[in-house]
Amino acid sequence: MNAPVNPSRFFDLGPTAQNFKVAVLFGLSQNPKRIPARYLYDERGSHLFELIGDTDEYYLTRTELALLRSIAPEIATFAGPGPTVIEFGGGSSKKISIVLDALDRAAAFVAIDISTENLTRAADEIANHFPELQVSAISADFMNLARLPQSIGGSGKRLGFFLGATVGNLPPHDAVRLLAKFRQLLGRYSGLVVGVDLKKDPKLLNAAYNDRKGINAAFNLNLLHRIARQLDSDIDIRSFSYDAFYNADESRIETHLRSLKDQQVRIVGHLVEFATGEEIHIGSSYKYDIEEFSGLARDAGFLTGKVWTDRDSLYSIHYLRPTG
């Protein structure tokens, strides 16, 4: 591969191996057991997640891409000329490139993601495609990011992107806190574009997270491979299964790893016991209607400027601006 025309600048603010160890040991000591979904995204996990988007059942990625292509000129109008674009948790250049192509002279682009490998690859792809653009990559858990580096460029308007329905990975009260953090990071003269998965037929939801090829299962089970590899563990991946289902009472998809037998697992010298059928809760994906999410945005200090949906009302994209 040729060197980028405009090599991206890299800031390593990401979680360390120690963070991963502490999160795993703490989570597996709880009842019920749980490990935060952000630790799914090592290099292999990020690749598997990209493959999920190509499955027949997973409507979300292709619907969001098609919607972005149709609304990018409107987003550009809202943003105005010369914004600094900040993408939270992108991990891929495909979506944001659509918007950067439509914007009027973006001043800079900043990518923030927990997966360093995918982050740097995506940032360099953007730098190659937009040689006039100042590109920065920040390896960080944006949920715990207190501030942005002062040298990222662009002292005026900032346009944030939080796509992929990632906001649904948090319980509503935590989603409000995260959106409020984005409001603080972006500043007063800013906008935030958020992708939100909508409530729909549970059959479509269950199929999307239980694809016939088993890529969703491989993506989640890869967390156990990471534990075995990085935390000196004798965990037997074959003794766990993947389970995902729609919880209608909570309006969320839940993903779990279930122990298939009574077993003891060693992780960095600690013994963790599992009973047959005991689960590790890996993640949830909350689904909203438009009014519900607009209420969350208000609680976080945003007004809804515009909402776009696809023809089948599977998915929505919200343009938010700070109150005041």
19 pLDDT band, cuts 50/70/90, is: confident
153 pLDDT band, cuts 50/70/90, is: low
What's the mean per-residue pLDDT of the chain?
92
Per-residue pLDDT tens digits for 283-294: 999 999 999 999
Domains of the chain: 1-324 (3.40.50.150)
**How many Å apart are CA 315 and CA 197, to the nearest integer?**
5
Per-residue pLDDT tens digits for 123-143: 889 999 999 899 988 888 888
**How many Å apart are CA 317 and CA 13, to the nearest integer?**
29
Which alpha helices (DSSP H) does the chain contain, by range?
17-28, 43-52, 59-79, 94-102, 116-129, 172-186, 202-208, 215-230, 290-299
Compute the average pLDDT of residues 185-196.
92
Residue 3 pLDDT exceeds 60: no
Beta bridge partners of 302: 322
Determine contact, residues 197/287, Cβ cutoff 8 Å: yes
